[in-house]
Amino acid sequence: MENRIDNSTPSFDRIKLNVGGKLFETTLSTVQSSGPDSLLSALSTRSTHSSDPIFIDRDPDIFSVLLSLLRTNRLPSSSLKFSKQELLDEAAYYGVESNLKSALLPPSLNGLDASLVSTLHPSVEGFPTDFTAETDDGSVLIAHGGQISCYDSNLIHVGSVRTHLENVTSVRRVWSNIATVGSNSSAGVHFYDLGSGRNVGSVHWTDPSDPRIYRARVHAIAHEPSSVFASCECQHRENCILHIDKSTLQISSEIGRQSGNSAKTVVIGKLTYLSEMHMLIGSSTSAGAFGYSGYMRIWDPRSRNVVWETSEPGSGRSSRFGDSFADADVDTDQCALLKVCSKSGDVAMADLRNLGDDPWVYYQDNNLGQRNPGGSKVIHCYKKQVFVGKEGGLEVWSRVEERENGGGCDGLVYRRNFVDKAENTEKGIIRKMEGGGNRLFVSREDVEGLEVWESSYSSNVVHVL
């Protein structure tokens, strides 16, 4: 019981707060975990010789939630009493927004264990025509009719922009506040400032030597840090990919101009830029009376040369003649190309670093209990998982973890599982899927709203008593 402790140390280590009449006591390290710029850190560094608590004229109940968050890095269940917006506003006041945002984000998306958590409903013309979540912070841009609605990483509606287009069918966020939009029914590639809602520029495909090239419409958009690529088609079906310089908003080159008069020259409908390999990857499919046909093509945008291409049916030594792909996607994490076959529904992967005549490796499916319905199919890769939409059903291919020390990648095993429940299928045909911020966004044909699928550690028990 000897006096070892200097009586003045506690006032340096500890901080007393009186928030709205309720006393809180915590340590400086807890308060400072919100970063040096926060109100709390600022208060704590104030030299207070008095032991009087610092008075803050705010609600004490919300503060206790935020203080728990700072102490434990998780939100206590009492946070459920408050709306997300309320918490975010209060967190912004104290300057602990980043702590709150990271606590609100969903855990890593596991397609095996994901459920539909919410649906984003833009209030006017709520049928999403396109959307993008590619920034991967969880924010999403939804094009619906002529509007673009912007949702932040907590899926809170930030704002909507009305464009001059009647029907936006392609949208990409090319800068943090600039969206590139296009429509397959009206001409031009347009740039909109999401903050002010102003059109900051438009690009049209023209060719002085060819009078047919005018009023080109946009079918797909991709971008990289310095440029935007837009797949355009004129009314005479002449099409190409415009390479637009981001800083000047001028066309710097045309890539892969073609006449569009056969299945192999139809406009590119899906475009991806793979920055790791400087590749521009485009695919196009058309469904006719005799089934699907399509092609995939890879360009080097610097030289504008075709690096590799395949067309189905017909190209290569594919043993799957007649089972051409219905949709393709690029796995940017693993530099692979994936396709889903139109008839069998099988999924195949091609390594982009080792493309050849027939690079496809088909995923083996041992689960015979799962049928393959015909009809439309879409494919999307996210977090090393392959999501496949077949009509209204949502499946995921995931890799089975091997032994602890990763022993040998010769026997890569992939398994197919349903993500959804049978009743989800009834909602409508899946039109587009995209992952971002550990969420999977799904839009369906003629269905209002954008579905949000997340994984959760919570068991979501249902009480029946």
* Buried b or exposed e, range 391-417, using 16+ CB within 10 angstroms: ebbbbbbbeeeeeeeeeeeeeeebebe
CB of 6 or CB of 446, closer to other proteins:
6
Question: Toward other proteins, which CB reaches closer, 19 or 274?
Answer: 19
Work out how close the CB of 456 gets to other proteins at its nearest, in angstroms, rounded to a whole number. 8
Stretch in the footprint of other proteins (CB under 8 A) among 35-43, 106-114, 319-327, 347-355: 106-114
- Regarding 284 and contact with other proteins (CB under 8 A), the answer is no
Q: Which of 397, 359, 391, 362 is nearest to 378 (CA)?
A: 391
When the beta carbons of 289 and 464 are compared against other proteins, the nearer one is 464
Stretch that binds other proteins, among 107-115, 121-129, 296-304, 327-335 (CB under 8 A): 107-115
Full DSSP string of 51-80: -PPEEE-S-HHHHHHHHHHHHHSS--GGGG
Exactly one of 59, 86, 113, 224 binds other proteins (CB under 8 A); which one? Answer: 113
Residue 322 CB burial class (10 angstroms; 0-12, 13-18, ≥19): middle
Only one residue has tokens 């587009």, namely 432
DSSP characters for 80-109? GGS-HHHHHHHHHHHT-HHHHHHHHSPPPP
| Contacts to other proteins from residues 360-399, by CB under 8 A | 366-367, 398-399
Q: Binding other proteins by CB under 8 A: which of 402, 427, 428, 445?
A: 402
Q: Taking a C-beta distance cutoff of 8 angstroms, is the pair 341, 325 a contact?
A: yes
Pick 64 or 199: Cβ nearer other proteins: 64
State which residue, 7 or 209, has the beta carbon closest to other proteins: 7
> Distance between CA 332 and CA 335 in Å, rounded?
5
According to the binding rule CB under 8 A, does residue 409 interact with other proteins? no
- Exposed/middle/buried for residue 272 (C-beta within 10 Å: 0-12, 13-18, 19+): buried
Residue 453 phi, psi (nearest 5): -110, 135
Residue 26 or 184: which CB sits closer to other proteins?
A: 26
Which stretch, 20-28, 96-104, 117-125, 161-169, contacts other proteins (CB under 8 A)? 20-28
Q: Quick one: 206 or 456, whose CB is closer to other proteins?
A: 456
For other proteins, the binding residue among 50, 77, 319, 354 (CB under 8 A) is: 77
User: Using the rule CB under 8 A, which residue among 247, 248, 319, 460 binds other proteins?
Assistant: 460
Per CB under 8 A, does 465 bind other proteins? Answer: yes
Among 2, 37, 57, 410, contact with other proteins (rule: CB under 8 A): 2
Q: Does 261 bind other proteins (CB under 8 A)?
A: no
Q: Which of 452, 460, 462 is nearest to 119 (CA)?
A: 452
Minimum CB distance to other proteins smaller for 209 or for 366: 366
**CA gyration radius, the chain:** 26
**Residue 24 near other proteins by CB under 8 A:** yes
In angstroms, rounded to a whole number, what is the distance separating the alpha carbons of residues 144 and 167?
Answer: 7
Q: How far is CA 75 from CA 88, 143, 292, in A?
A: 12, 33, 50
| Residues 6 or more apart in contact with residue 187 via CB below 8 angstroms | 204, 214, 215, 216, 217
State which of residues 92, 156, 287, 413 lies at the interface with other proteins (CB under 8 A): 413
d(CA 323, CA 311): 12
Report if residue 5 touches other proteins, rule: CB under 8 A: yes
49 binds other proteins (CB under 8 A): no
Task: Quote the least distance from Cβ 416 to other proteins, whole Å.
Answer: 9
Q: Which of 37, 404, 410, 446 binds other proteins (CB under 8 A)?
A: 404
> Any long-range contacts for 254-260 (C-beta under 8 Å, 24+ apart)?
254/205, 254/304, 255/229, 255/280, 255/299, 255/301, 255/304, 256/282, 256/297, 256/299, 256/304, 256/306, 260/233, 260/236
171: contact with other proteins by CB under 8 A:
no
SS3 393: strand
**Which one of residues 83, 98, 115, 305 is an interface residue with other proteins (CB under 8 A)?**
115
Does position 1 bind other proteins by CB under 8 A? yes
Our CB check for other proteins shows the closer of 7 and 248 to be: 7
Q: Does 461 bind other proteins (CB under 8 A)?
A: yes
363 and 349 in contact (C-beta within 8 Å)?
yes
Query: Residue 265's closest CA among 306, 300, 295?
Result: 295
Q: Name beta bridge partners: 345.
A: none
CB of 159 closer than 8 Å to CB of 147: no
76 near other proteins, judged by CB under 8 A: yes
In the complex, minimum distance from the CB of residue 167 to other proteins, in angstroms, rounded to a whole number: 35
**Taking CB under 8 A as the rule, does residue 9 contact other proteins?**
yes
Within 415-454, the residues that bind other proteins by CB under 8 A are 415, 417-422
Binding residues vs other proteins (CB under 8 A):
1-5, 7, 9-10, 13-14, 16, 23-27, 29-30, 64, 67-68, 71-72, 74, 76-78, 110, 112-115, 366-367, 398-404, 413, 415, 417-422, 456-465
